[in-house]
Structure 1
Amino acid sequence: MAEPVKIFHDGCFPKVGLGRLKGFVTKTTTSIFFFFLVFIGALIWMDFPIIRGSPFSFTSSSSKTHPEKIQHERIQFPLNCSSFVNYMKAFEPKESSAKACPDYFRWIHQDLKPWKTSGITRDMIDRGIPSADFRLVIVNGNAYVERYRPSFQTRDLFTIWGILQLLKLYPGQVPDLELLFYCGDNTVIMKKDYQGHWAASPPPVFHYCGEKAALDIIFPDWSFWGWAEVNIKPWEEILRAIQKGAETIKWEKREPYAFWKGAPTSGDRGDLLKCNLSDKHDWHVRVYQQDWGKEIGQGFKHSNLEDQCTHRYKIYAEGRTWSVSEKYIMACDSMTLMIQPEYYDFFSRSLVPLQHFWPIRRENKCRHLIFAVEWGNSHTQEAQAIGRAGSKFMEEMLTMRNVYDYMFHLLNEYSKLLKFKPAIPPDAQRICAETTEQGLAKEFMLQSMVKSPSDKLPCTLPPPFETRAIRASLDVKKSKTKQVETWEANYWKKPDDKKQ
């Protein structure tokens, strides 16, 4: 097997390179050496990759490997980073004022509220270790990781890659901190375990999703920087591709049905398969089961997200918990039929029924889906408006700038709660933008790499929600969902010959 290639970015200079440089000096003149240093400096300044050997390897997802096996062929972070690692020049924004952050940033305060009074102690961190995949420590702008157990596929790698890009976007602005991160599906810090007068304070654990019964701290998921195992590009890349694909077929020319394609990893998705076209029923739903093992073997020929904007309606159904598919589905400019979710990510709590999506109840979902399609086909302007609003939210509110700013404010607010001085664990590894990935992983990292510090300040974090504002928001969502239920009830009361 060929030795993997290691690429050093952003001024990272390999130690092995220093050794070769020393030998080179003894055999060349001073002038040649000077020219060599100037040349290397120019490459670094231009952010040009310098290729060297690698201490670890990665098996590309483009190989014919079964998805269950991919998670065992893992990337390992470099044991050492170059002593020349720095995240480019100092942060010097050109703009003196910042724009207000989107409204969903307010949830940062709510997610950190359990520790507002007590603060976060080292004991709380230590008690959260059994629930975490790794500990991330940031000290003086450098990142260190202490691993506890392997995460599924490369979720941890791309999550930490995203944090490294944040450090490059706002160099010197992210404070020292320690945090625990869990990369799985299910929530891990449950409210019921920390209730009562004698209950211990909950440990703070960062995670991709939350639910009413949990206290997990919500953080943007790994797929914003790419999901190599299933060939999903970084968010900015795939968003442009989806938008381009959506433009090829106008809404009124699309198939007048509801579309879903995926793996039946939950009860809801299993039920959804029953709504497909059959000899007995046409629920106006077209469902396609995704076989990722087959897709990997065939080079992802039938799983391009940009080719799936062919129907007027697209269905969002949770997997084991929340699903990263939500943003891709809503970006398609089709009206999203959202099967009542139990979980949420960092932005979805600001989505509103009948404004950004159409709500679908979990029970008897086939019956609810056929009404949603019938309503949309008889109210085409309203259905198009809902689809466009959802797509516009993904395009304008979920920019990578906002994703990074959300991370920035969440980490800053979190760091203010720490009651101890962050310290580098003895077993932690320093990580930097020195990557050894091959295939899609390397390609996606290069695509999502921050190449220079921001020339703008982060957006301005809005104040916390007042309790009455949260209640009012929930009341609005409940009222709009109830409106849909009333419309549907009246629809099914009509004689068959009057139904549209």
Structure 2
Amino acid sequence: MTKIQLSPNRLLHIRKDLSPFNISNLNYCYDIVKPFFNFICNNKSSNYWQLSIQSDQHICYQLYSKNKKLDLFSRIHKDLQPFKNRTILLKDIENISNSCLGCHHIQIIQNKLYIVPRSTVSNYETRSRSVKLLIKHMMDTFSDIPDLDLFFHVGDAVELPKELNDVLFNVPIFAFTKSNTMRRGLRPDALVLMPCFTLWGWPEVRAGRWSKVFQSILNASRQIDYEKRVPKLFWRGADTWKRTWYINTAKQYPNTTDIETMNWVRIIVGLSLSVSNTYTTLEQHCNYKHLLHLEGNTYSSRLKYLLLCGSSVVYDPIEHYEEYWYHLLENGKNVIFVERINNEIAFNKTLQFLQNHENVTKEIGKQGQQLVQNYLNEHAVSCYWRNLLHEYAKLFGYKPTLHPNAIYIDDFILSNLP
């Protein structure tokens, strides 16, 4: 079995003997170059990490598949199941390229990341660049990614020409979200879920680099004990059709809810922007015992931020749009699932439960926070990308070669390409 050895002289070695290597025994953990391994050095939950790169004992599996009930990577196998009996050929890559004109095309060749520019790609804010940087960040940590061609879409839904939305192509399209109960755009079994762009950063809504926001919300949650938080169900956001009922209904429960529309910008005066008086930072959400999570037009990426507060999160999955990690959610353990829209009696019962079972809701909030800490930290996201690409690459029946227009990721970052 091939193992990775990290030595105190800052070198990364490959060794082929079978003797165990305990990374936790290194005396110079802080000298290790790669931050992923610094994380392991500082992780005191295990006395032994075997760093295998060619088996299911890879460090990613050890960190995030120890609890089979909460296996981070089980979604990968579920999403790729429709393609297990298919083989991706070069003609299939050409077909998906012509069919999904809004898709971004990347290549990994000899463990280097390349971007294939396409004038037709769908772009919104910094989403596509964030996905590419997430993949680069993962590849800066792991040097064993197989050669592949990959197409991803950055829209809330993957919209193809109408006659193609029911096609199961030989090549999956990578996307942020999908619903198995609602149909919008491409059929859900043709999509493979990838980490959301917000797990790199979302500067447009003042949620910057995920690793920093992650720590900032955690710090805010530690500043106020659960018992001292405002005992209301809190929500702020844009008014979409899925949210209107909650916004209107909450007006009848002013003592137990604080649910209002929040516009990012209230008025434009010259070039200066005035923030709405209902604007609430992600950190300020931690001042409330109970937080409401509602879908947007499709999904809403806010759930992970809310869970980090350690407050109990009430989630109504109205159209059941999911991100890649939602299978880790457990009703009554780390989140409170409700389906209350247009049902005021049921909504009132939920509010009564929140008010009368503080010990239960406190524990749910604690477990929700722990879920994000364990499975959505920066290193877990890199591990998910790594394992996802390994499984995806197994579908290939041809050897990918570098596209003539491909741009190396370092050159791409220095360009103004999206």
TM-score (norm 1): 0.63
Change (3 A) 1:188 1:104: farther
Deviations 1:86-121 (A, max 9, x none): xxxxxxx99535315330311111111111111222
Code of the residue aligned with 2:88 in structure 1: it is I
1:321 and 2:298 equivalent? yes
Name the residue aligned to 2:228: 253
Larger strand fraction of residues: 2
- Seen in structure 2, the aligned counterparts of structure 1 residues 435 and 226 have a Cα distance that, compared at 3 Å, is same
Selected match of 1:416 from 394, 412, 417? 394
CA RMSD of aligned residues (A): 3.1
Correspondent of 2:365 among 382, 387, 393: 387
The alpha-carbon distance between structure 1 residues 401 and 159, as it changes in their structure 2 partners (threshold 3 A), is: same
Counterpart pick for 2:354 among 372, 376, 391? 376
Q: Which residue matches 1:96? A: 51
Q: Paired residue for 1:347?
A: 325
Aligned residues: 342
1:268 aligns with one of 218, 231, 242: 242
1:239-295 CA-partner distances (Å, limit 9, x unpaired) = 21112212222222222111111112x3212222112325xx547321132212349
Tell me which residue corresponds to 1:159. Answer: 131
Tell me the residue number matched to 2:4: none
Shift of the alpha carbon at 1:345? 0.8
Compute the displacement of 1:378 (Å). Answer: 1.0
SS for the counterpart of 2:297 is coil
User: Closer, same or farther in 2 for the Cα pair 1:299/1:269, shift >3 Å?
Assistant: closer
Which residue among 96, 112, 116 is the counterpart of 1:128?
A: 96
For each residue in 1:387-439, what CA deviation from the matched residue of structure 2 results, as whole angstroms up to 9, or x when unmatched?
1111110112222111100100000110111112212223332221774599x
Q: Give, in angstroms, the shift of residue 307 of structure 1.
A: 1.4
Counterpart residue number, 2:145: 174
CA distance in 2, matches of 1:170, 1:337: 37
1:137, distance to aligned residue in structure 2 (A): 0.7
Contact 1:164 1:433 in 2 (8 A): no
Decide whether the 8 Å contact of 1:284 with 1:369 is kept in 2. Answer: no
Which of 116, 124, 140 matches 2:84? 116
**Matched residue SS, 2:243:** helix
Structure 1 runs of 4+ aligned residues shifted over 6 Å read 192-195
Q: Deviations over 1:105-148 (max 9, x none)?
A: 11111111111111222333333333343100111122222223
> Which whole-Å CA distance do the structure 2 matches of 1:306 and 1:433 have between them?
36
1:208 corresponds to which residue? 176
Separation of aligned partners in 2, 1:162 and 1:178: 16
AA of the residue aligned to 1:422: P
Q: Contact (CA 8 Å) 1:158, 1:222: kept in 2 or not?
A: yes
Query: What's the CA shift for 1:233?
Result: 2.1
Contact 1:139–1:177, Cα closer than 8 Å, also in 2: yes
Amino acid at match of 1:263: A
- Range with bigger deviation, 151-160 or 98-107: 98-107
Q: Is the 8 A contact 1:156 1:183 kept in 2?
A: yes
Q: What residue in structure 2 maps to residue 405 of structure 1?
A: 383
Q: Does 1:218 align with 2:193?
A: yes
- Equivalent pair of 2:265/2:276 in contact (CA under 8 Å): no
Question: What is the alpha-carbon distance in structure 2 between the residues aligned to residue 422 and residue 236 of structure 1?
Answer: 33
Residue identity (%): 23
- Contact 1:187-1:209 at 8 Å conserved across structures: no
Does the 8 Å contact 1:337/1:357 carry over to 2?
Answer: yes
CA distance in structure 2 between the aligned counterparts of 1:155 and 1:200, rounded to whole angstroms? 25
Residues in 1 aligned to 2:175 and 2:375: alpha-carbon distance in whole angstroms: 21
Residue 117 of structure 1 aligns to which amino acid in structure 2?
A: N
Following the alignment from structure 1 to structure 2, what is the Cα–Cα distance between the partners of residues 374 and 200?
46
Q: CA–CA distance in 2 between the matches of 1:225 and 1:201?
A: 29
**Cα 1:394/1:117, change in 2 over 3 Å:** same
Mapping for residues 82-93 of structure 1, pairs under 5 Å: none
Taking structure 2 as the reference length, the TM-score comes to 0.74
Displacement of 1:157 after TM fit? 0.6
| Runs of 5+ consecutive residues of structure 1 not aligned to the other structure | 1-46, 48-92, 439-500
On the 8 A contact 1:254/1:310 being kept in 2, the answer is yes
1:202: Cα distance to partner?
4.7
Alpha-carbon displacement from aligned partner over 1:285-343 (angstroms, at most 9, x marks no partner): 21132212349924799442111112111011111111110100111111111012411
Distance 1:188 1:229, change over 3 A: same
Aligned to 2:3: none
Helix, strand or coil for the counterpart of 1:104? coil
| In 2, Cα distance between equivalents of 1:194 and 1:236 | 36
Q: 2:314 aligns with which of 332, 337, 343?
A: 337
Cα distance in 1, alignment partners of residues 170 and 200 from structure 2: 30
